[in-house]
Amino acid sequence: MRTGLLWFDDNPRLPIAAKIEKAARRYRERFGRSPNICYVHPQTLAGAEELPTHVQVVGKVTIQPDNFWIGVKTSRAPQESDRRDRGRRRTRAR
């Protein structure tokens, strides 16, 4: 993820799905596109009955509880220029 939004919501009465929906709405308002991934602390995920279907929810211990890091998942495919240069031997002009 290159650009993300960190959303905090510690309301115990609000289900996790609603919290993620609020974060996704704010992400769309701010960046003009819909997010497809949300990282949350596994403790926050504990006991979640349902999760949004349009956002992949991933538990990650590096995210603080009650925080939601939401954004667009990017591939790690090398850039075209990286592929061309890979394996080439660089020679010095004499």
- Residues 6-22 have pLDDT tens digits of 999 999 999 999 999 99
22 C-beta neighbours (distance < 10 Å), count: 16
Rounded to 5 degrees, φ, ψ at 67 are: -110, 145
Whether 42 is covered by a domain: the verdict is: yes
- At 75 the pLDDT is 75
Whether 69 is covered by a domain: the verdict is: yes
Whether 88 is covered by a domain: the verdict is: no
pLDDT band at 72 (very low <50, low <70, confident <90, very high): very high
- At 16 the pLDDT is 94
- Residues 16-49 have pLDDT tens digits of 999 999 999 999 999 999 999 999 999 988 878 8
3-class secondary structure, 89: coil
Whether 83 is covered by a domain: the verdict is: no
pTM, full prediction: 0.75
- At 46 the pLDDT is 86
Whether 68 is covered by a domain: the verdict is: yes
Whether 93 is covered by a domain: the verdict is: no
